[in-house]
Structure 1
Amino acid sequence: MDEAEIIRQIGELRQEHRDLDSAIDALAFAPASDQLQLARLKKRKLALKDQIAALEDQLIPDIIA
C-alpha cells in the first residue's frame, strides 16, 4: 500500500469515527436507548481508532537508534 492510499484510508476511517461519535451521542441521549447497541458502537469506535493509529505508524519511517 503506497503513502497516498494510506492517507486516503486514514481519512475515510476518521470520517467513520466522527460519524460513530454522532451516533453514540444521539443514542446515549435517546429516551429508550439500547445499551447493547451503544456498547457495540463504542467498541467499533475503539477498533477504528486502533486502525487509524496502525496506519499512521506506517507513514512514520522507522528510526534506528
Structure 2
Amino acid sequence: MIDYSIFSEDALFARLRELQQDHADFDAAIQALAATPMPDLLLIGRLKRKKLALKDEISRVESYLTPDIIA
C-alpha cells in the first residue's frame, strides 16, 4: 500500500487522475468483454476485482485531498 501522506497535493491530484483513468479503462474493457457472444466470465471477474481495488485506492487518495470535517 502506498503512503500518500508524503505526496504533495499536485502529486495526489495527478495520481487521482491516473487512477480514475485506469478505472474507466477497466470499465470499458469489462463492458466490451461482456458484449461478446461468449464472454470470458473468469476474465471479467478478475477485471471487476481490479476495478474494485482501484476504486478503493481512489477513495484513499481522495481522503488525503479532502480534509476531515469535525462537527
Same topology, TM > 0.5: yes
The answer for the alignment partner of 2:69 in structure 1 is 63
Show CA shifts across 1:28-59 (max 9, x none).
Answer: 01112111000000011111001001100001
Superposed structure 1 runs of 4+ greater than 4 Å apart: none
The answer for the alignment partner of 2:38 in structure 1 is 32
Q: What is the CA distance between 1:61 and its match in structure 2?
A: 1.8
The answer for the alignment partner of 1:2 in structure 2 is 8
Aligned residues, how many?
A: 65
Show CA shifts across 1:10-40 (max 9, x none).
Answer: 0000001111111000000111211100000
Distance 1:22 1:62 in 2: 33
Q: CA RMSD in A?
A: 1.0
> Structure 1 length as normaliser, TM-score?
0.92
Which 5+ residue runs of structure 1 have no aligned equivalent?
none
> Structure 2 length as normaliser, TM-score?
0.85
The answer for the alignment partner of 2:28 in structure 1 is 22
The answer for the alignment partner of 1:44 in structure 2 is 50
Which 5+ residue runs of structure 2 have no aligned equivalent?
1-6
